[in-house]
């Protein structure tokens, strides 16, 4: 069960932010980020401890889940499924964008094989949590079985529990999987009722003709599974990927632990939508990193009524947008902890509108 946030310190947190030496709201989203982070971090804090505590991000973890998708055989991506395994090897070697960003900002990076076509070499250090080699093509079959779904949710939760032993209080999630924008779009359509024409984008940069083909395959899948798409678990089972499934399990577990969940782009937001449908309170623990260049991601964020921190036109995946939020979160907390109040600085407080 995911507990709702206890708002016992909300008034104090807001007052502390408002009384900093600045006009009300002048630090924009940094103020809302600080409010959310301190609200989450203070869940198990006594009144006395709250007054003297400095709040910091501890041992931030970024987990990349990788999985292959049967729908990729239909030519919905510019790359073949084999590229998933090649990119996993690149992650393990430290050469991908996400490796660079994690080193730059101080994320601790883990890579999880949830079920990719080519099994990574044992010496790469990739965490093996395989549910199979590849999902079924969801326009013809259910993407995964009930047992694969259950195992995937449990494995996702287990990796989060393992990472939590490092003392982390912030978790970000990325993914790698050729064909997974098709899966994310299908999940979005099933949850929102929007037609594929509004949820399918160019993914890795496919042509207009391939976009139309993706739309047709998704429409076929939605008709095929229509009677089963009545709840979030079935939507995930019929349309999801092994990596999306384990990301859902990990996000759920992070919410159960009342930790911060940083949601990356289009695919990670599809996972977050499943989590929220299963456990609505989980959204209180989520920070949405950015609005990606995938055309339906803005609609996803609007559907969830959330405002992302960044809009840089990213459409890489891997958790790259989520990685960029760490200095923003750290800055928001530093301002909360260390910026003087009007009283401390002996600065006259100007009332808004005067």
Catalytic amino acids? 318
Q: How far apart are alpha carbons 48 and 53 in whole angstroms?
A: 9
Residues 117, 68 contacting (CB under 8 angstroms): yes
Dihedral (CA of 4, 324, 288, 61) sign: negative
CA distance 94 to 91: 5
- Secondary structure (3-state) at 115: strand
For the residues of 257-326, what is the DSSP string, one character each?
A: TT-EEEE-SHHHHHHHHHHHHH-GGGGGGEEE-B--SSTTHHHHHHHHT---SB-------TTHHHHTTH
Rounded Cα gap, residues 75 and 48, in angstroms: 60
Tokens of 192: 């929102």
Q: Where are the beta strands (DSSP E) in 228-273?
A: 260-263
- Dig out the tokens for 247 from the structure: 């990301």
| C-alpha–C-alpha distance, residues 240 and 139, integer Å | 12
Residue owning tokens 């782009």: 265
Q: Characterise 75 by phi-psi region: left (phi > 0), alpha (psi -120 to 50), beta (else).
A: left
The C-alpha atoms of residue 196 and residue 321 are separated, in whole angstroms, by: 25
For residue 120, what is the DSSP state? P
């Amino acid at each position: 069960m995911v507990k709702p946030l206890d708002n016992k310190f909300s008034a104090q947190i807001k007052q502390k932010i408002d009384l900093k030496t600045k006009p009300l709201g002048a630090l924009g989203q940094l103020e809302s980020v600080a409010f959310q982070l301190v609200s989450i971090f203070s869940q198990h804090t006594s009144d006395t401890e709250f007054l003297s505590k400095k709040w910091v991000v501890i041992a931030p973890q970024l987990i990349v889940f990788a999985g292959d998708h049967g729908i990729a055989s239909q030519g919905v991506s510019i790359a073949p499924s084999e590229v998933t395994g090649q990119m996993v090897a690149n992650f393990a070697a430290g050469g991908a964008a996400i490796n660079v960003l994690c080193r730059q900002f101080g994320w601790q990076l883990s890579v999880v094989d949830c079920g990719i076509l080519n099994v990574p070499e044992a010496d790469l250090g990739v965490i093996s949590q395989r549910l199979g080699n590849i999902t079924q093509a969801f326009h013809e079959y259910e993407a995964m079985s009930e047992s694969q779904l259950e195992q995937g949710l449990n494995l996702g939760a287990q990796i989060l529990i393992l990472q939590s032993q490092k003392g982390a209080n912030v978790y970000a999630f990325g993914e790698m999987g050729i064909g997974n924008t098709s899966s994310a779009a299908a999940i979005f359509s099933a949850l929102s009722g929007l037609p594929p024409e509004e949820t399918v984008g160019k993914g890795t940069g496919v042509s207009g003709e391939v976009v139309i083909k993706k739309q047709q395959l998704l429409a076929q899948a939605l008709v095929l599974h229509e009677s089963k798409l009545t709840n979030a678990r079935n939507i995930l089972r019929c349309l999801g990927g092994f990596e999306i499934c384990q990301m859902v399990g990990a996000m759920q577990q992070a919410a159960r632990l009342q930790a911060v969940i940083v949601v990356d782009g289009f695919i990670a937001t599809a996972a977050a939508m499943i989590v929220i449908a299963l456990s609505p309170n989980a959204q209180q623990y989520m920070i949405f990193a950015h609005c990606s260049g995938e055309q339906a991601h803005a609609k996803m964020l609007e559907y969830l009524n959330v405002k992302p921190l960044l809009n840089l036109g990213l459409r890489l995946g891997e958790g790259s947008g989520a990685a960029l939020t760490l200095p923003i979160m750290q800055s928001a907390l530093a301002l909360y902890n260390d910026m003087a109040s009007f009283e401390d600085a002996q600065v006259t407080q100007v009332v808004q509108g005067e």
